Amino acid sequence: MAESAASADDEFEGECDPMEALLAKHRKEKKALKEKTLSMKKTAKSGNKLKQKETNAEIERLEAELAARHEREIADLKSSAHAEPSAGADVSSEHAKGELDGLEQSFYKEVQVSSRNKKKQAKKEEAVRRMQEAMQKDRENAASSLRVTEMAAIQKILDERGLSLVDIAPDGDCLYNAVANQLSRVKGYEQVTGKDMRRRAAKYIRENKDDFIPFLTNESDDPLDEIEFEKYCYGVENESKDGGVWGGEPELNALSQSLERTIELIQPIGPPVIFGENYKKTKPLIIVYHRHAYQLGAHYNSTAVKTMA
């Protein structure tokens, strides 16, 4: 009976106490983030080292943002409670009069939805709604800030090099489509597609397995066996809509070697990453790496030489 009464008390407090409502919301958000990060890690494991590194960095950012926001919301709610007496103040004054246990049991059993209780509940629901809106705004502002900062850094690099950004659709095939966009300006490759690039990369990796296998691991960080290697190649070969996986460093290396062309990957921070440095006789293919352009993760765009207005 005691356990049942305690459970009922907790449930009532969770419904009426803004702090309990906030903490319950935080627990749900932590659980949702945990499920999301597990899914992100699983997806990254089927990719490559660069993708795994990017995913881990993104997970750390999401966890840090969530923890900071939770601390801020709790502090804000406590400040609000000090500024405006809460509904719990009446209960606390009654506790000071004695007979705590009997009073609590009587209160929880006999409480009814009076007009006063309805007004209190409406106020608390409005407070929760405002908190939820503020939380959503925080998330949007954080994501927007990272995107803006990253884009400004990329734009500065492109301007210095006389290049403009060519947008590629964020459909899971962006790396291959970005390379195809670059290659389509080369004589003999005018009709090339991202699907062609996927097939070319997979073919080269299969034919040069020994060069790639040391950099490919499974979910246990062990080298891929024959079945796992073929599954990986299938993910490279097929488009995202058909079960293909995102591309990264190994696939860019495969394309560079297969095409016998340098591929230059511009980043918002640091020097560009160069694949196929030995192919200096041909014009490099220049693409751009974004970490924060979209919530799903890494994205690749193409570039073009700026034209005089």
Contact 294, 273 (CB under 8 A): no
What amino acid occupies position 53?
K
CA distance 112 to 296: 47
Which positions are annotated as active-site residues?
171, 174, 299
Q: Of 195, 250, 183, which Cα lies nearest the Cα of 217?
A: 250
Q: How far apart, in whole angstroms, are the C-alpha atoms of residue 210 and residue 200?
A: 17
Query: Which residue type, as a one-letter code, is found at position 4?
Result: S
Q: Give yes or no for a contact between 238 and 198, defined as CB atoms under 8 angstroms apart.
A: yes
Angle between helices 49-83 and 249-259 (to 10 degrees): 150
CA distance 110 to 3: 19
